[in-house]
Amino acid sequence: MDFNNFLLMGQEIGLIAVFLILFAYDIIASDKLKRWFYPVACFLFAVQTAWGFFPLPAGEAFGGLYVASGLTVLMKNILNIATLLVFLQSYTWLNSEGTRHKAGEFFTIALVTLLGMYLMVSAGNFMMLYIGMETASLPLACLAAFNKYKEKSAEAGVKYILISAFSSGILLFGLSFIYGAIGSLYFSDITLSVVSEPLTILGFVFFFGGLGFKLSLVPFHLWTADVYEGAPTSVTAYLSVVSKGAAAFALLFALYKAFGQIEVVWEPVLWWLSVITITLGNLFAIRQTDIKRFFAFSSISQAGYILLGVIAGNAQGMTATVYYVLVYVFSNLAAFGVISAVENASGGKTSIAAFNGLYKTNPLLSFVMMLAVFSLGGIPPFAGFFSKFFIFMAAASEGHYLLVFIALLNTVISLYYYLLIIKAMFIKEGEPDATGRFSSDVYNKTSLALCTLGIFVVGILACIYENIGNISFGI
Amino acid sequence: MFFIGIFGFIVRKNMIAILISLELILNAVEINFAVFNRYLYPEQLDGMFFTLFGIAITAAETAVALAIIINAYRSIGNIDVNNMNKMKG
């Protein structure tokens, strides 16, 4: 056995080390020591995040099962940053009555799901992809049901586990046909011998359907709103950003590396799915009254925009997709940070009405929310504008003008409903019993500051986009 | 078997029955892998390995799903999917 292979898995091993330390700490430490659990966990994970920015070796391990390249390291860094921000936002919730005794479990479970996502991103073989996906989605179902005594949370957990098991069954069914047609599960072998014959296409359709559930594209999106509403807010943030980002990266690799030769087959599929996803996501978002459901549909339509970058199928599209996810991480997490702050202060209210008059009581929070929403909607000075711009450029460079036009129309629709939140915060009067001025905990403040910084800096610093561009590749 | 499983997943109202249907789907896939491997590519073992991994993961999945269903049973009182309707939209 060649142990050199493990050198390539530096980030995974680091993550497992963090996991084991926290796990032992959670079990062994006395109650007195446990007070330090939260800062220690955040600090360790911050170290792990920072470590990813040092140059790491690239190559293939275990006969091509595992692939490490500059791009996978970058994707893992994005996932790391997002997870760190979610951890920082979860402080008040984890210290509340029902969850204080199991705060450690939240971290350990979340780290296991993150490990699964690492494997998804680094997979060079469909078996690895599947194992990573299951490692990511099974613990996530436990997280969705984390508020044990809330009916909604239990319901969200049930819905998530059943749907994710169902979707992985469909995905596997597709994979079995691809295996039957080609005789290998390695991306590198498949790309050599894939041709558009009926068995491959059948397999591909099932495979794509299974992955579509994870990305919550439109015909497969029905679980999204329910699970997002029922799950605890921090978990919702995690689901909507980290889990979705990992699924997008995995889709990118599977399409480019394994099915790059049959682009004619998957391009029309992606074309229609992205149109339906963006449009329906936007239209349903308009009529939501619960802010978490609202962001569920908003994230569905964002997934449609991500597909727009994937469809381009060249290096530019890949760069734009990764960049889009990076920007989406900061903007969406800023929004969720504000949501959890408001939720904690108002005793668990998550309706949009709870935001009425927020500007009067908490100008700073409403300002951050405004930045986040503008960035999601794509208003110029913020990062969201540039990410949308690049993704439209990538799609247009391959001649998908009609698609870009439809997406642009949808941006206008999305601005309408994003502005509804702004209206609630700035124009509407707060109810008399609304929560007065409140102050969120220092961790949440840190995360919101980081997000705000991210929204500005990622948009303005051109070198970030160029860096991504240098290490990405097309078909 | 796969389509019996899909049918069961959609039609059945009891969550345990849905879980059984899921098992049917996954077992169908695993048999599929094993058969493709045995008859089309007898010289290699990829499909067999996939089957083994698949069985292990399926077992883990069932365990987690059962735990979550028990949790739902405690807070809601039964395991009929029609009662899972607190959230609509």
Domain boundaries, chain A: 3-473
Q: How confident is the model at residue A431 (pLDDT cuts 50, 70, 90)?
A: low
Question: b/e map of A389-423 (b: 16 or more CB within 10 Å)?
Answer: ebbbebbeebebeebbebbeebbebbbebbebbbe
Percentage of chain A beyond pLDDT 70 is 97
**CA-based nearest distance A4→chain B, Å:** 24
- What's the rounded mean pLDDT across residues A155-166? 89
In the prediction, which pLDDT does B86 show?
A: 63
Min distance A380 CA to chain B CA atoms (Å): 32
> Could you read off the pLDDT of A94-152 as tens digits, one per residue?
888 777 788 888 999 999 999 999 999 988 888 899 999 999 999 999 998 888 778 88
Q: What are phi and psi of A9, to 5 degrees?
A: -90, 35
Chain B residues lying within 8 Å of A169, measured CB to CB: 5, 22, 25-26, 29
Closest by CA position to A321, among listed A297, A334, A302: A302
| pTM (two decimals) | 0.90
Give chain A positions within 8 Å (CB) of B47: 179
Interface test with B, best of A109, A131, A172 (most B CBs within 10 A): A172
Mean pLDDT, rounded, of chain A = 85
Confidence check: pLDDT of A434 > 90: no
Tell me A172's DSSP state.
H
Q: How near does any CA of chain B get to the CA of A180, in Å?
A: 5
Q: Does A158 touch chain B (CB under 8 A)?
A: yes
Q: What is the pLDDT of residue B89?
A: 46
pLDDT at A384: 85
Query: Which of A271, A247, A402 lies closest to A325, judged by CA?
Result: A247
Is the CB of B22 less than 8 angstroms away from the CB of A157? Answer: no
The whole-angstrom separation of Cα B60 and Cα A185 is 23
Q: Which chain A residue shows the shortest CA-CA distance from B64?
A: A138
Q: Does A142 touch chain B (CB under 8 A)?
A: yes
Q: Which two tokens stand for residue A356?
A: 């009425």
Rounded CA-CA distance A326/A81 in Å is 9
Using alpha carbons, select from A459, A465, A324 the residue that is nearest to residue A391. A324
pLDDT digits (tens, 9 = 90+) for B12-64: 778 888 888 888 889 889 888 888 888 888 888 888 888 999 999 999 999 99
Size of interface A-B (CB pairs under 8 A): 121
Residue pair A15/A118 in contact by the 8 Å Cβ criterion: yes
On the question of pLDDT at A475 being above 70, the answer is no
pLDDT in tens, A272-299: 888 999 998 888 888 888 888 889 999 9
Q: How large a percentage of chain A has pLDDT more than 90? A: 16
Most B CBs within 10 Å: which of A173, A205, A224, A229, as the mutation test of the B interface? A173
